Amino acid sequence: MSGLAHQAYLRTRLAIMSENLLGREKLHKLSTLSLEELAKHTGFDKYQGPDPTARLAAFERAQMQIWLDELSALLRPLEGPARRLLTQWASRYELLDIKALVRGKIGQLPNEEIERSLFKLPGFLSLNLDELLNTDTVPELLRHLLKTRYRSLAVQALRRYEENPDPFLLDATLDQQFYSNLINWAQRLEGHDRTETLNMIGRFVDRHNLVWSLRYRYNYRLQTSEVLYLAIDGGRVLNRAKLQQILQMDTLEEALGKLPSNILRSGEMPREITNIEYAMRNDLFEYAEGAMRRSPSILTSVLAYLLLRRGEIKKVYAIVHARVNGLSDSILEEALNPLEDIAA
Amino acid sequence: MILAGQDMRHITIKLMRDDLPRASLVMAELEAFAPDQRPLLETELPEIPGEDFRSRIRRAWGHLDRLVTLIGELPPQDTETPVLVLQTEQLIEIDQWLANAWKQCVPCDEELHRIDEDFRELDQLKKSLEEFADLDVNLSWLQGEHEHLDMRIGSVPVENIPRLREVLALSNHLILNVAGDGDTRRILIAGRREDAAILDSVLQAAAFKPVNIPASFDQHPDRVRDELARRRQILEQRSSELHGMMTNWRSSNYRQLLRARQLLEAAEPYSNVRGAARSRGVLAVLQGWVPASRLGEVEAKLQKSLRLPFVLESREPRSDERHLVPVPVRERGLLKPFSKLVEQYGVPRFGEFDPTILFAVTFVGMFGMMFGDIGHGAIIVLTGLVLRRKIRSFTYLFVLAGASSMLFGWLYGSIFGYEHWIEPLWLAPMSDPIYMLTVALGWGVTFLTVGSGLAITNRLFSGDLAGALFAAGGLFSLIFYMALLGGLVNLVQGGGFPLVATVMIVITLILLISYQWLSSDMPYGERVFTTVIETFEIVNGYISSSLSFLRVAAFSLNHVALALAVFTLANTMGTIGYWITLVIGNIFIIVLEGLIVAIQTLRLEYYEGFSRYFYGDGTPFRPLRVGRSQNSTIN
């Protein structure tokens, strides 16, 4: 297929797939249904069995599989950096698995328990989870990772782990690697695809940098320079110098006063880090909705769709999970839309 | 017609749960049973026995593998050693023994890794000091806090350097020197002493590893060298002590290690049957596929080995499970290289037409037609024969392709590009290119028609009536193709486009569109989109595939044109130059054009042939075996 044919194919596919998105109203409606109705609407009723945890795990995996299948369909006409960018996007699940493995090994959990928390990865991702699972210690696990495409990550993690066996540094390294690779591939794109995709990824990075830098600095009490080192390059509004100005403040309150005015497209920035995270996520999703429909770059529209879809899939899972575990409507509503509570 | 894997039977062994490990082992020893993992009896027998067994085995193997990596390979198992049936209690014992063994050895393993790291650090230090050898400073000053300066020397992962440089600049530090290769770089950092406190945390985050320079180091190179040699000696001594300890450990635990491996290998078949074994209480079932010719042998061996009663039931594969039946690999002889190329595309499904013979004949034929030259063909034959030890079964492919090339060379009257040495038995391609193109097109139409015929037959055999009638390569698309072709031929011959052809085209198109529409359960928009695209694909597929075969003629013309180019170039040279150009030109033609023609032929086979009629989604028959060969293949 030619470039134009790719565009036409992807635009059509995307227009059709975007009908799968539920939107806020439908999601809210789902959260008000009884477990029985909810199971029918979401397909959870297909997962039968006596153990609710196993049912939920199977449902979550199936939901993830839907997302990966859609990603694979959108991946089909793409080639070169655009294809690599989307594949890298999917490799987020590999990183989540590595995080789960490391946490499990640090917590000395039994393999069966760690295994239950792992995503079953599709063919185009290459990590051999069985081999990693079979290791006894974190250094051993990391030494196995040396033989995979996560070698550079393993080299760093091994060095850091010797000094300080705290998983947060490893998490930060994994996130850094993920976003750096994403940005690397985006920088190899051309024209609208390059500018629009970098803009979109810049927003992810801003959200990630702001939330985690505030946490590291004001909750974990890390040094400013260390937090700056852990920040990811490629933010749209928050570059390292701006982050430094923010993080040099003694309190979270003062730091929030230093935030650039354009960090949120609309609305006030909340005062607690958890709510800041929700506000930034909502802002990103609003931007993604616009980008999916109007971006001149089809690749950005595809990324926006995948972001929105994954966000919705996670929410649907959260609703089902809450219902299965018998959480009340108010707790569920608060978990799904914490900012509305504050506004009220 | 040659159909793949005709004699397979599905078997169900109903037995007592306690006999499952033994039955698995018996089947593995026979190498005639491929487990069927489908949950066929899930309702009646909800349990999959051996989950705990499997996870213990996996863990035990994990420990044994790591021990072997540390203490060295164990000798291969004696084939005379009888295979044992591993009981659960024994497995627990072995698992615990191996876990304890690994626990004993792990400090040693960790220390050896640390020593490796220390060796690397020592190398880094040596190189760093060599770099600073020309400076007139005490080398120990390169590290630690001074009156005004804070200096650090060490290594960091290479990709961290840009970010570290940026962040250090914010805290008034500089990276003064970067050197080294591989994953890490040696760096020298310097900054103001009052800013030193904040440096440690950044360096830790950057995975910085300081190089340890003792305070006694000064600028005397001999003392530095001596100190480094002393440190290396200490490391080597410790490493050798640790290896000695491991050798002793291996000697004193040798028998237990061999026994552990033997028992784990014996347990593999039971571990690998997975979902093919199901149970409820004391009753169990083992199901899978066995070649019909070996059913008697299987039953007899089970009678002899199982201690408790059992029932063996067998049946022919049902039509809905034909695509799941494993297909045994057959001895191929001359066809072996062709069968390997077929397998590159896919394994024939059970009961499907095995395309190997057709592929071999058409591949060799098309290669010869595109590369027809007696001389070049002879060279290909000779190359195959000379390289027979290296290329093994592919010798046949070289010989047959070369012979076909020679045959067509004779038909074209071409020897090493000389078109006038012998009379063509048929015609020289350049004498009538249009005729050659027409022949190629005719060959393409025949190839596609045969392909569609096979596709229809394969689908009918698989019980896919709708696919046989309506899908790409099905009956109606074939009728559409024939009508279009007949109409066009008539049109070219001046007879206009016949009404009957038009009617057939319209009817078949309506049928194809209707089928696409009805078989889709997507939302309205996507349904329209896929119906249009899929129907267009079917129509366009036949046209483009037919034209694709023009390359068969194009390459035969290209072959002559290339030879002409070589002659033209050679004629501009003197006698020696003439012959050198001729030889090099012919080598160029054989290697480069030969390779391109082979790829193009393969492309025609795969894309115009296999994609039309060959499912290629069969499962190769991988029987359960004793030992550890198929952990990753049975899922």
**For residues A179 and A204, is the Cβ–Cβ distance under 8 A?**
yes
3-state secondary structure of B8: strand
- The CATH number assigned to the domain with range B144-210 reads 3.30.70.2750
Residue among B113, B143, B117, B116 at smallest CA distance from B128: B143
Question: Cβ separation of B198 and A223 shorter than 8 Å?
Answer: yes
Residue-wise burial string across B115-145, b where 16 or more C-beta atoms lie within 10 A, e elsewhere? beebeebbebbbebbeeeeeeeeebebbbee
DSSP state of B427: -
**Which of the following CATH numbers is that of domain B1-47+281-328: 3.10.440.10, 3.30.70.120, 3.20.10.10, 3.40.50.300?**
3.30.70.120
In the block, which residue shows the tokens 């063994």?
B101
3-state secondary structure of B209: strand
Provide CB contacts within 8 A for A340, sequence distance 6+: A333
**For residues B52 and B92, is the Cβ–Cβ distance under 8 A?**
no
* pLDDT(A31) > 90: no
With vertex at residue B238, the alpha carbon angle to CA B237 and CA B244, rounded to the nearest 5 degrees, is 90
**For residues B85 and B22, is the Cβ–Cβ distance under 8 A?**
yes
**For residue A177, what are the CA distances in angstroms to A89, A149, B311?**
12, 12, 57
Question: Cβ separation of A152 and B183 shorter than 8 Å?
Answer: yes
* pLDDT(A2) > 80: no
Domain boundaries, chain B: 1-47+281-328, 50-128+222-267, 144-210, 332-434+549-616, 464-548
* pLDDT(A344) > 60: no
Q: What is the pLDDT of residues B510-566, one digit of tens each?
A: 999 999 888 877 777 778 888 888 888 888 888 889 999 999 999 999 999 999 999
Which residues from chain B sit within 8 angstroms of residue A14, using beta carbons?
Answer: none
Give the pLDDT mean for B101-115.
90
A 87-146 residues inside an 8 A Cβ radius of B: 111-112, 130, 134-137, 139-140, 143
Residue of B56, B68, B158, B204 to mutate, interface with A, max A Cβ within 10 Å: B204
- The CATH number assigned to the domain with range A190-296 reads 1.20.1690
Question: Cβ separation of B170 and A135 shorter than 8 Å?
Answer: no
Are A78-188 and A190-296 the same fold in CATH?
A: yes
* pLDDT(B485) > 60: yes
B490 pLDDT band, cuts 50/70/90, is very high
Are B1-47+281-328 and B144-210 the same fold in CATH?
A: yes
* A163 lies within 8 A of chain B by CB: yes
Residue of B105, B171, B211 to mutate, interface with A, max A Cβ within 10 Å: B171
* A174 lies within 8 A of chain B by CB: no
A 175-194 residues inside an 8 A Cβ radius of B: 180
CB count in 10 Å sphere of residue A251: 9
Residue type, position B349, single letter: R
Domain boundaries, chain A: 78-188, 190-296
* B426 lies within 8 A of chain A by CB: no
Question: Cβ separation of A225 and B184 shorter than 8 Å?
Answer: no
Residue A98 is predicted with a pLDDT of 87
ipTM of the complex: 0.76
Question: Cβ separation of B62 and A135 shorter than 8 Å?
Answer: yes
- By C-alpha distance, the chain B residue nearest A244 is B170
| Rounded Cα–Cα distance for residues A121 and A100 (Å) | 14
Residue A1 is predicted with a pLDDT of 43
CB count in 10 Å sphere of residue A223: 19
Name the token pair of A31: 């959260």
With vertex at residue A264, the alpha carbon angle to CA A263 and CA A267, rounded to the nearest 5 degrees, is 145
| Rounded Cα–Cα distance for residues B635 and B294 (Å) | 24
* B499 lies within 8 A of chain A by CB: no
Question: Cβ separation of B205 and A226 shorter than 8 Å?
Answer: yes
User: Helices (H), strands (E): how many in chain B?
Assistant: 21, 12
- The CATH number assigned to the domain with range A78-188 reads 1.20.1690
What are φ and ψ of residue B619, in 5° steps? -105, 125
The architecture CATH gives domain B50-128+222-267: Up-down Bundle (1.20)
**For residues B367 and B601, is the Cβ–Cβ distance under 8 A?**
yes
Which residues from chain B sit within 8 angstroms of residue A147, using beta carbons?
Answer: none
B631 pLDDT band, cuts 50/70/90, is very low
**H or E, element range at B311:** strand B310-315
Name the token pair of A4: 């134009």
B634 pLDDT band, cuts 50/70/90, is very low
Q: What is the pLDDT of residues B31-85, one digit of tens each?
A: 999 999 888 887 788 888 887 788 888 889 888 988 998 998 888 876 665 666 6
Provide CB contacts within 8 A for B409, sequence distance 6+: B372, B373, B374, B375, B376, B377, B415
A 191-220 residues inside an 8 A Cβ radius of B: none
- Beta pairing, strands B283-291 & B277-280: antiparallel
* B192 lies within 8 A of chain A by CB: no
* B171 lies within 8 A of chain A by CB: yes
| Summary mean pLDDT of chain B | 86
* A154 lies within 8 A of chain B by CB: no
